[in-house]
Amino acid sequence: MSASVYLASQSDGNYHMVEEVAGRTGLPVSYLAKIMQRLARKNILDSRRGAKGGYRLIRPAQDVTLSEIVAASYQMEASPMPCMIEAKDCDTNHPCSMHRFVASTEIALWKQLNQTTLASFSDQTPQY
């Protein structure tokens, strides 16, 4: 998320190399490169190769939601996730005792992420 916030703070229209973004955000280059490639495949970032290449946002920060970034950044699991409460897989068909609470919390989180844009962080962005 911090890399996207950094790119949103760079309103110069230039491309920014992964190494630059990693240095400014404190994220490992190899990890960040994979995340930025995923964001580019999902049309959140534009990428360019070469000496003046790198990444930049495709759309204005006010048009990019946090839910887009989170969904693109993490490979969502299609199979049931191990339950964090009980030692078994947990899903709607085989819920654990906390399943409804966790599911409703997750729904609320995704709603909030969908309503929040990168521009929301413009006044909270650290001076990179």
pLDDT per residue as tens digits for the range 55-77: 999 999 999 999 999 998 876 55
What does the pLDDT look like over 75-121, one tens digit per residue? 655 555 566 676 667 777 878 788 788 888 888 999 999 999 999 98
Query: 49 Cβ partners below 8 Å, 6+ apart?
Result: none
Query: Residue 52 falls within a domain, yes or no?
Result: yes
Query: Residue 128 falls within a domain, yes or no?
Result: no
Q: CATH no. for residue 99?
A: 1.10.10.10
CA–CA gap between residue 78 and residue 36 (Å, rounded)? 22
The pTM of the full predicted model, rounded to 2 decimals, is 0.78
Which residue from 73, 49, 67, 77 is spatially nearest to 120, judged by alpha carbons? 67
Which residues form the domain of 61? 2-121
CA–CA gap between residue 36 and residue 18 (Å, rounded)? 8
Provide the greatest CA pair distance for the chain. Answer: 55
CA–CA gap between residue 80 and residue 62 (Å, rounded)? 34
More confident residue, 94 or 15: 15
Query: Residue 68 falls within a domain, yes or no?
Result: yes
β-bridge partners, 56: 46
